[in-house]
Amino acid sequence: MSRILIIEDEDDIARLLEFNLVREGFDVQKADTGHKGLTVAQQQLPDLILLDLMLPELNGLEVCRRLKANPKTARIPLIMLTAKGEEADVVTGLELGADDYIAKPFSIRILLARVRSVLRRGAPLENQESEWVHVGDLKIHTGRHEAVLAEETLPLTPLEFQLLLTLASKPGWVFTRNQIVAQIRGEDYAVTDRAVDVLMVGLRKKCGDFATRLETVRGIGYRLAEGK
């Protein structure tokens, strides 16, 4: 049974989430402030965190930043709950390492689908020894969520890793932003072009000289150029 931590200060929303998640078979814990959420996360190590961005005392972005900076909690998948008009905060959260976001008011059915999707991405794969993707000096292990470039492990966020894996799966193939989102999230995921562009900027910064092969195809999207 997967354990989910809800960090949400609005009691009605927290209880709604708890009711539906418990009904789906999840073990649920709640915290109504950022400080309490950090404490519970560090003590209980949930399998996934639902994090509201508009929290009292310590806002959701700072909670996300501290979770991802702590080796004990850094790998816990995290879905942000956002209010309409918080696009800048969403982009910041994704850059910090959040796995997904969903805007309020949200559909419980869609939220549950997102929860299952993120949990599946974080689950270990069978036969991991055969899950390497090779592109020149770049090696990606899909089971370990690890990218190695010239024998150095890249410090990628979960979304940066998924973006690189998508492009590396078909070198030379041009992916539109919508196709990238579909590969990473699923067809029902709503994200702005800006979020994809920001992910690419972060990815390029971490790839050194290899970043020249992460090409922008103007008006269409991105591709990983084939080796010359």
More confident residue, 56 or 4: 4
Q: How confident is the model at residue 36 (pLDDT cuts 50, 70, 90)?
A: very high
**Span 114-144, pLDDT tens digits:** 898 888 766 543 433 447 788 888 999 887 7
Q: How confident is the model at residue 38 (pLDDT cuts 50, 70, 90)?
A: very high
Sheet strand arrangement including 175-176: 175-176, 221-224, 214-217
Given this model, what pLDDT does residue 147 score?
92
- DSSP state letters, 98-119: --EEEESS--HHHHHHHHHHHH
Given this model, what pLDDT does residue 126 score?
42
Lowest mean pLDDT among 1-10, 149-158, 179-188: 179-188
Could you tell me how far CA 143 lies from the centroid of its own chain?
A: 16
Residue 187, pLDDT > 50, answer no
**Span 136-172, pLDDT tens digits:** 889 998 877 889 998 899 999 888 898 999 999 888 8
Average pLDDT of the segment spanning 99-117: 88
Q: Range(s) for CATH 3.40.50.2300 in the chain?
A: 3-122
Given this model, what pLDDT does residue 87 score?
73
Give, in words, the CATH class of 3-122: alpha beta
| Nearest-angstrom CA–CA distance, 107 and 96 | 25
Given this model, what pLDDT does residue 83 score?
81
Q: What is the pTM of this model?
A: 0.61
| Coarse DSSP helix, strand, coil percentages of the chain, rounded to the nearest 5 percent | 45, 20, 35
- What is the CATH topology of the domain spanning 128-224? Arc Repressor Mutant, subunit A (1.10.10)
